[in-house]
Amino acid sequence: MGTTLALALFQDNSVVFAHVGDSRIYRLRGGELTQITSDHSLVQELVDNGYLSEEEARLSVSRNLITRALGIAENVEADVRQDETETGDLYLLCSDGLSDLVNDDDLKDILEARRMDMESAAKAMVDLANQKGGTDNISVILVSIEEAYSDEQGIGAR
């Protein structure tokens, strides 16, 4: 049995992302929702190599066969990257229980409509995933960058 991980560390107007498996990290910036991570799954490898389209992958019964997970082997390689943050950025860290059932357009709509009330946004995402079947655990973490921040002053996110 293994588990997936999505991690974000915010420091000095930047963020370090790490992930293993098919938990995801998204960023909403300037009205554009971008998936920051790429799933460690058999289906994603097939998409990356041109054997499946994005639509075929979304419908595949094998979409949850992950190629990396914590707890399977003694060591696992995480994908790690660093980016600069901007005031107004909104980050979503979520499990596949959300991303498998709620499409990116719906995620974007919820984030834009409820960005001033992130608790309400998170609840709306979980509720929508449950309405669409809720067959897996649904984890959601939202981080909003409200102002520039540094180690000396503390983080400017909520």
Any domain includes 99: yes
Question: pLDDT tens-digit profile of 68-81?
Answer: 999 988 899 999 99
Domain count within the chain: 1
Any domain includes 9: yes
| pLDDT of amino acid 7 | 96
Any domain includes 152: no
Look up residue 69 and give its amino acid: A
* Residue 50: CATH number of its domain: 3.60.40.10
pTM of the model: 0.89
Any domain includes 13: yes
Residues in the chain predicted with pLDDT less than 50, given as ranges, are none
Question: pLDDT tens-digit profile of 38-67?
Answer: 999 898 888 889 988 888 887 787 777 888
For residue 138, the enclosing domain spans 5-144
